């Protein structure tokens, strides 16, 4: 008899009869004559109840199985319309594939997320993480759907690169050289010409610079891949390896781009609510009771748009004593972002037109000469989930800004030259994929939405 997945059994109108299922024991309880097993095969969030009794030849063996043992079951479907689950299986045969040792670390009790972080290979078996990683998968699809349906071209930009796209010096260096026996130049510096690529290389911090040439070809493109930042930030929203979606759009200015970001965020919410209703209900019940209400408000409201200058004024007027007092020209800190999005607007808010020195070199300089046409999208609880800008499309102005920052112009001549060969107004943004998952699930810590988080002093497996 062919095995049927539990999702198929529970979601398709089912004819009574014999079935064959397999899965892992989530919970089990038994008395002297009868036992109940909650079985999960990962095909869907909920479990399937298996009932078995003393007629099984291996009744005693089954009773002694450990939590998370893998079993196969043959039995009859019993419809149970009065129960929570529409049906259960009355087992006629249960075979043990792999028992689970008594030291299984996730015995039946509620474990803290902190403890589960020490069990990265087993935590996907808990309800919380089973829901998180399925939503992560579904959201990946939603991203591609959104952009593909709108005729964007997906470009895979390199992970190994020599370009520090954000110019923030947060690149991990990658080398093929023997660190204990480095080739040196006459002046005693590392001789990178001996490097496999003939130059100093690193892991990408952003695919933006590599994707801009494609935006000036296809008009609408996006990247979706891993990015790396060698920053020593120990917060709940920073990881050293994270995924980012970076759309880049020609013939589109900052305002047009904010419309796209807003449409995208609402689409992603709708998509996940539709495709993962059980998981989203679970997050609302167990992780954050205001989640579904909050997402509903976001879907139906218009995002606020304020300038950086207005944001600083609002922070000053708030009467709050912030750890970092708001000062024009200084960065907007996480605490400021949380106040603006979480307390003042209570919904996503775009902050635009940042001071030039607070942002990267490639942003479009405003006529005032002091600010750039950038936007960050701030959301309650998390703060920034999107950062983007209109790009500087004027060759001379971009070159002057790069020189002012002391960048090695030669290395970026190819990027500058895009402004000489058919320069066009264009804009792009980066959506932090992991932060978007946090936002959609209510999970507070980025370490709990990544399968194998990489954060300072923490990179297991």
Taking the complex as a whole, the smallest distance from the CB of residue 19 to ligand 4AD amounts, in Å, to 44
Q: How many residues bind ligand 4AD (CB under 6 A)?
A: 23
**Residue 20 CA to chain centroid, in angstroms?**
36
Where b means 16+ CB within 10 Å and e means fewer, 305-317 reads: ebebbebbebbee
Site track 274-303 with ligand 4AD (rule: CB under 6 A), x = hit? ------------------------------
Nearer to ligand 4AD, 123 or 229 (CB): 229
Does 448 bind ligand 4AD (CB under 6 A)? Our answer is no
Does 383 bind ligand 4AD (CB under 6 A)? Our answer is no
Does 387 bind ligand 4AD (CB under 6 A)? Our answer is yes
Element (H, E) at 297: helix 291-300
**Smallest Cα–Cα separation from 155: which of 99, 239, 217, 229?**
217
Does 388 bind ligand 4AD (CB under 6 A)? Our answer is yes
432 binds, options ligand 4AD, Mg ion, none, Cβ within 5 to 8 A by partner type: ligand 4AD
Nearer to ligand 4AD, 94 or 446 (CB): 446
The window from 1-9, 115-123, 292-300, 379-387 that contacts ligand 4AD (CB under 6 A) reads: 379-387
Report the alpha-carbon distance of residue 347 to residue 384 in Å, rounded: 12
Choose, by CB under 6 A, the member of 229, 294, 373, 447 that binds ligand 4AD: 229
Element (H, E) at 431: strand 426-432
246 binds, options Mg ion, ligand 4AD, none, Cβ within 5 to 8 A by partner type: ligand 4AD
Near ligand 4AD in 187-226, by CB under 6 A: 206, 208
Near ligand 4AD in 104-163, by CB under 6 A: none
- What is the DSSP annotation of 384-412? EEEEEEEBP--HHHHHHHHHHTT--GGGG
Does 75 bind ligand 4AD (CB under 6 A)? Our answer is no
435 binds, options ligand 4AD, Mg ion, none, Cβ within 5 to 8 A by partner type: ligand 4AD
Q: Report in angstroms the alpha-carbon separations of 182 from 162, 172, 194.
A: 19, 18, 9
Nearer to ligand 4AD, 118 or 232 (CB): 232
Choose, by CB under 6 A, the member of 75, 167, 202, 430 that binds ligand 4AD: 430
385 binds, options ligand 4AD, Mg ion, none, Cβ within 5 to 8 A by partner type: ligand 4AD
Does 378 bind ligand 4AD (CB under 6 A)? Our answer is no
The window from 118-126, 133-141, 147-155, 423-431 that contacts ligand 4AD (CB under 6 A) reads: 423-431
Element (H, E) at 174: strand 173-174
The window from 52-60, 345-353, 383-391, 405-413 that contacts ligand 4AD (CB under 6 A) reads: 383-391
Does 412 bind ligand 4AD (CB under 6 A)? Our answer is no
Does 167 bind ligand 4AD (CB under 6 A)? Our answer is no
Quick check: 233 and 241 in contact, CB under 8 A? no
CA atoms within 13 A on the CB side of 148: 9
Choose, by CB under 6 A, the member of 238, 364, 373, 426 that binds ligand 4AD: 238
* Sheet containing strand 201-203, strands side by side: 160-161, 201-203, 173-174
- What is the DSSP annotation of 339-388? IIIIIISSS-EEEEEEEGGGS-TTBPBPTTSSEEEEEEEEETTTEEEEEE
Does 434 bind ligand 4AD (CB under 6 A)? Our answer is yes
Site track 348-387 with Mg ion (rule: CB under 5 A), x = hit? ---------------------------------------x
Exposed, middle or buried by CB within 10 Å (0-12, 13-18, 19+), for 170? middle
User: Pairing state of beta strands 304-307 and 349-355?
Assistant: parallel
Does 28 bind ligand 4AD (CB under 6 A)? Our answer is no
Does 388 bind Mg ion (CB under 5 A)? Our answer is no
User: Pairing state of beta strands 220-228 and 153-154?
Assistant: parallel
Nearer to Mg ion, 40 or 352 (CB): 352
Length of the chain: 461
**Smallest Cα–Cα separation from 310: which of 341, 352, 345, 348?**
352
**Residue 155 CA to chain centroid, in angstroms?**
19
Nearer to ligand 4AD, 174 or 230 (CB): 230
Choose, by CB under 6 A, the member of 48, 116, 132, 165 that binds ligand 4AD: 165
Directed axis angle between helix 433-441 and helix 277-286, to 10°? 70
Q: Structure tokens of 55?
A: 């007629």
383 binds, options Mg ion, ligand 4AD, none, Cβ within 5 to 8 A by partner type: none
Tell me if residue 276 falls in helix, strand or coil. Answer: coil
Q: Residue numbers of the site for ligand 4AD (CB under 6 A)?
A: 165-166, 206, 208, 229, 238-239, 242, 244, 246, 384-389, 428-430, 432, 434-435, 446
Residues at the interface with Mg ion (CB under 5 A)? 387
């Amino acid at each position: 008899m062919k095995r049927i997945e539990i999702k198929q059994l529970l979601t398709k109108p089912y004819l009574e009869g014999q079935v064959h299922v397999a899965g892992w024991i989530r919970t089990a309880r038994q008395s002297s004559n009868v036992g109940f097993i909650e079985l999960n095969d990962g095909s869907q969030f909920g479990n399937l109840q298996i009932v078995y009794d003393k007629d099984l030849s291996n009744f005693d063996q089954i009773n002694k199985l450990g939590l998370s043992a893998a079993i196969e079951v043959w039995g009859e479907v019993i419809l149970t319309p009065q129960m929570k689950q529409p049906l259960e299986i009355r087992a006629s045969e249960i075979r043990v594939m792999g028992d689970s040792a008594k030291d299984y670390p996730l015995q039946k009790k509620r474990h803290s997320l902190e403890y589960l972080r020490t069990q990265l290979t087993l935590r996907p078996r808990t309800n919380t993480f089973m829901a998180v990683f399925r939503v992560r998968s579904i959201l990946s699809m939603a991203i591609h759907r959104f952009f593909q349906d709108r005729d964007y071209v997906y470009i895979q930009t390199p992970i190994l690169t020599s370009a520090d796209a954000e110019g923030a010096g947060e690149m991990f260096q990658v080398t093929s050289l023997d660190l204990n026996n480095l080739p040196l130049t006459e002046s005693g510096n590392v001789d990178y010409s001996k490097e496999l690529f003939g130059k100093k290389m690193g892991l990408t911090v952003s695919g933006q610079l590599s994707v801009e040439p494609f935006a000036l070809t296809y008009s609408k493109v996006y990247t979706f891949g891993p990015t790396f930042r060698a920053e020593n930030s120990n917060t709940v929203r920073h990881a050293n390896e994270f995924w980012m979606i970076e759309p880049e759009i020609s013939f589109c200015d900052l305002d047009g781009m904010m419309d796209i970001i807003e449409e995208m965020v609402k689409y992603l919410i709708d998509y996940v609510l539709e495709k993962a209703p059980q998981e989203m209900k679970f997050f609302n019940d167990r992780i954050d009771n205001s989640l579904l209400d909050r997402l509903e408000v976001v879907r139906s409201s218009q995002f606020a748009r304020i300038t950086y200058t207005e944001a600083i004024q609002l922070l000053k007027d708030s009467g709050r004593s912030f750890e970092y007092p708001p000062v024009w020209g200084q960065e907007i800190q996480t605490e400021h972002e949380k106040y603006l999005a979480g307390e003042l607007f209570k919904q996503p808010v775009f902050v635009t037109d940042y001071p030039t020195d607070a942002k990267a070199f490639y942003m479009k300089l405003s006529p005032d000469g002091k600010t750039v046409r950038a936007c960050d999208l701030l959301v309650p609880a998390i703060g920034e989930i999107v950062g983007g800008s209109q790009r500087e499309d004027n060759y001379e102005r971009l070159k002057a800004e790069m020189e002012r920052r002391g960048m090695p112009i030669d290395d970026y001549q190819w990027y500058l030259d895009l402004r000489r060969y058919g320069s066009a107004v264009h804009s792009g943004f980066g959506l932090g994929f992991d932060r978007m998952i946090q936002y959609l699930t209510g999970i507070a810590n980025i370490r709990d939405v990544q399968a194998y988080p990489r954060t300072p002093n923490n990179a297991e497996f």
